[in-house]
């Protein structure tokens, strides 16, 4: 695998330094941002179950990457988005405790706890994976909001559209220049989601074609 798909622990260790933790904290709360950072740091110093700790850290790293690519905080404040993410902080807290338990311990402790830790790793990884499954849905809502904004910028208010927008539109018209900003954010959201969640190439082709059509309609 390349480093984008399977980041090494040195990249994970730099996550907090680059400021990503602050972004995540603003979106979903300080507890989640801090826990993500602590899990990644603890995985660097694990003395046992290093492979499992690294795998767990990479799963958490993926959550962090997905959260920071959601550019619209309003999306994460919506109840239908907040509910599936409820309990994420508890899961991350347990993941942190699990990684900490893999620090330097006596041989007797490792022998006694080996079976229990293996079971806990499977349980925590499974729960984190369930949160990862939520992100394509969140991204869909984020992209839909941006499409509605672009649609209402391009289409005159007195022209009937093919469908009712999925989200309320601000009453004041948005300057045409805002189209370019929204298009850039939309493309960024689509590409980041597809890259991180491994969506197929058709989605990327569709996205590029759609963006080209909208750009053409502006002129």
| pLDDT in 10s for each residue of the chain, 219 residues | 444 444 565 555 555 544 555 555 555 655 777 788 888 888 888 888 888 999 999 898 888 878 776 656 676 677 777 777 778 888 999 999 999 988 866 665 666 566 688 889 999 999 999 888 888 877 777 777 777 777 777 765 555 555 555 445 455 544 545 555 555 555 555 545 555 445 443 343 344 444 444 444 444
Per-residue model confidence (pLDDT) at position 205: 37
Per-residue model confidence (pLDDT) at position 112: 56
Tokens of residue 61, six digits: 């790293």
Per-residue model confidence (pLDDT) at position 2: 44
Neighbour count for residue 216 (Cβ, 10 Å):
8
Per-residue model confidence (pLDDT) at position 216: 46
Per-residue model confidence (pLDDT) at position 172: 52
The domain spans of the chain are: 9-133, 136-218
Cα 34 from Cα 93, distance rounded (Å)? 10
Opening angle at CA 162, ends 147 and 190, nearest 5? 20
Per-residue model confidence (pLDDT) at position 10: 57
Cα 24 from Cα 78, distance rounded (Å)? 16
> 210 to each of 136, 166, 206, how far by Cα in Å?
19, 18, 6
- Global pTM reads 0.60
């Amino acid at each position: 695998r390349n480093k984008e798909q399977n980041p090494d622990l040195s990249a994970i260790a730099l996550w907090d330094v680059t400021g990503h933790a602050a972004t995540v904290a603003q979106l979903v709360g300080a507890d989640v941002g801090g826990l993500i950072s602590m899990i990644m740091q603890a995985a660097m110093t694990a003395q046992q179950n290093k492979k499992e700790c690294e795998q767990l850290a990479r799963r958490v790293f993926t959550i962090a990457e997905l959260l920071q690519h959601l550019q619209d905080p309003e999306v994460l404040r919506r109840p239908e988005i907040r509910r599936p993410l409820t309990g994420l902080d508890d899961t991350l807290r347990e993941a942190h405790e699990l990684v900490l338990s893999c620090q330097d311990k006596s041989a007797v402790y490792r022998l006694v706890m080996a079976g229990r830790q293996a079971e806990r790793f499977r349980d925590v990884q499974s729960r984190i994976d369930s949160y990862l499954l939520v992100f394509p849905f969140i991204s869909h809502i984020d992209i839909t909001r941006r499409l509605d904004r672009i649609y209402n910028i391009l289409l005159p208010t007195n022209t009937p559209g093919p469908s009712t927008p999925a989200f309320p539109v601000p009453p004041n018209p948005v300057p045409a220049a805002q189209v370019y900003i929204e298009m850039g954010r939309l493309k960024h959201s689509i590409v980041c989601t597809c890259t991180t969640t491994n969506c197929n190439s058709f989605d990327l082709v569709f996205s590029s074609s759609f963006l080209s059509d909208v750009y053409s309609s502006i002129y």
